[in-house]
Structure 1
Amino acid sequence: MRYNKVVCVGRNYAEHAAELNNPIPDTPLLFMKPATALVPFEEPIPVSHHNSSLHFELELAVLLGQPLKHADKAAALDAIDGIGLALDLTLRDVQQQLKAQGHPWELAKAFDGSCPISQFVPADGLNLTDLEFTLERNGTLQQHGHTKHMLSPILDVLVYASQHFTLSPGDIVLTGTPAGVGPLHAGDTLTARLLPEHLVVQTRAI
């Protein structure tokens, strides 16, 4: 399947919002990355190409196989084709400057290669309210997320987004990052897992 746009949810874990001193939104906070942001997860991350602090944010990724427009939860569930893992790479200094000026985040979030994406495992048989994932940096646990801690569960996010714009087959929805985000440095190795061992992927920063 050809991948299209990436729809992202910001501040969907309360502890992550708190670690960046951000208020918790009343409704899902959506932003987008273009298809050019997508690269294979295993591809090295070129930290040195950026003149800003490049942060990792691991997220569950949802691949859609059917269009969604003004959908309900049943339609949203039927539209999910697979579950994967993605990094929402963020130029944190740039993002902070944009936020301070009241500007959109795309310059910090939507640059080429800003969304390393894994392969997807079939969604059939997975309990979307009981998914767990982790990120290790150089063998040390950095992030540990569970869908039960999402402020807006996966199906609620899909329903909400579909009320405002059409979601198409091949679209990917990133569902928010848990606490523990931080800067990447050349030489770092990142290992991401969708537990229990549904998926394991690794990349490195150069």
Structure 2
Amino acid sequence: MDVRNIYCVGRNYLKHAEELGNKAPESPMLFSKPTHAFAHGAKKTLYFPVDRGAVHYEAELVIRFKSEWYEGASLDELIDGVAVGIDFTLREEQDKLKELRYPWLLSKGFRDSAAVGPFYSFEKGKWEDTSFELLKNGGVKQQGSPKNMIFDLEKLTAFAGKHLGLGQGDLLFTGTPEGVGPAVDGDVFKLTYNGQEAGTFQISMKK
């Protein structure tokens, strides 16, 4: 299935909002990435810019939609896959854009900045018990679960569907827990989904 739109949810875990000095939003905060930011695979090298400041990792659960959203649609009707992904951010560039009150696109939409591991079948009944991790060079840096989201998946889907539209091939990054930090050349990020390996990405930042 081709990727059509990539939507991302900002500040959907309270401790992550706090670690960056932000207040928790009162409604879902959405932004997007262009499709060329998408990097999908079980094992992949990601190539990042070397002259635009720090690149930060943000591990997230990623939802894939199989059909068009409509009012009252169930999650099982709409969603066919879930994966663990990383929303990479040019943090210094983002801070400058926020200070100027400009959109975040330049700090979020660079190539390979939406890294996503293999997709698994989505089952709504098991969603709340899902757990995921990000390991950097073998050490656990992030751990998360939908139980700790500020806005649950039903609310995120309804909000995005109503305001932006959702359809086959759309992806939704559902927010990152605390523990984000910088990536440097040579770093290896391993993702886990319910305790099983769910994608490995190596970083290349060479000129």
- Superposed CA offset, 1:55-86 (max 9, x none): 010100000000114x33x4333100100011
Give matches, 1:18-167, under 5 Å. 18-41=18-41, 42-69=43-70, 71-72=71-72, 74-124=73-123, 127-167=126-166
Check conservation: 1:5, 1:35, Cα contact below 8 A: yes
Stretch moving more, 7-16 or 109-118 = 109-118
Please list every run of 5 or more consecutive structure 1 residues that lacks an aligned counterpart in the other structure: none
Counterpart of 2:183 in structure 1 is: 184
Q: Shift of residue 4 of structure 1? A: 1.1
1:10 and 1:78 map into 2 onto residues whose CA distance is 25
Check conservation: 2:52, 2:93, Cα contact below 8 A: no
Q: Shift of residue 44 of structure 1? A: 1.2
Please list every run of 5 or more consecutive structure 2 residues that lacks an aligned counterpart in the other structure: none
Check conservation: 2:116, 2:199, Cα contact below 8 A: no
Q: Secondary structure at the match of 1:17?
A: helix
Flag the 1:125–1:105 CA change in 2: closer, same or farther, 3 A: closer
Q: Secondary structure at the match of 1:122?
A: coil
Specify which of 193, 197, 200 is matched with residue 198 of structure 2. 200
- Root-mean-square deviation (CA, aligned residues, Å) is 1.5
Q: Secondary structure at the match of 1:204?
A: strand
Flag the 1:112–1:23 CA change in 2: closer, same or farther, 3 A: same
Partner AA of 1:38 in structure 2: F
Q: Secondary structure at the match of 1:190?
A: strand
Flag the 1:37–1:200 CA change in 2: closer, same or farther, 3 A: same
- Superposed CA offset, 1:147-198 (max 9, x none): 100000112100111111211100000000000000001121111001132x
Partner AA of 1:25 in structure 2: P
Q: Shift of residue 126 of structure 1? A: 5.5
1:21 and 1:125 map into 2 onto residues whose CA distance is 32
Counterpart of 2:13 in structure 1 is: 13
2:49 and 2:21 map into 1 onto residues whose CA distance is 27
- Superposed CA offset, 1:40-60 (max 9, x none): 243212245442100010100
1:189 and 1:145 map into 2 onto residues whose CA distance is 19
Flag the 1:91–1:59 CA change in 2: closer, same or farther, 3 A: same
% identical equivalent positions:
32
- Superposed CA offset, 1:99-142 (max 9, x none): 11111100000122210111211113751222110001011110
Flag the 1:153–1:50 CA change in 2: closer, same or farther, 3 A: farther
Q: Secondary structure at the match of 2:45?
A: coil
1:36 and 1:79 map into 2 onto residues whose CA distance is 24
Check conservation: 2:76, 2:124, Cα contact below 8 A: no
Partner AA of 1:174 in structure 2: F
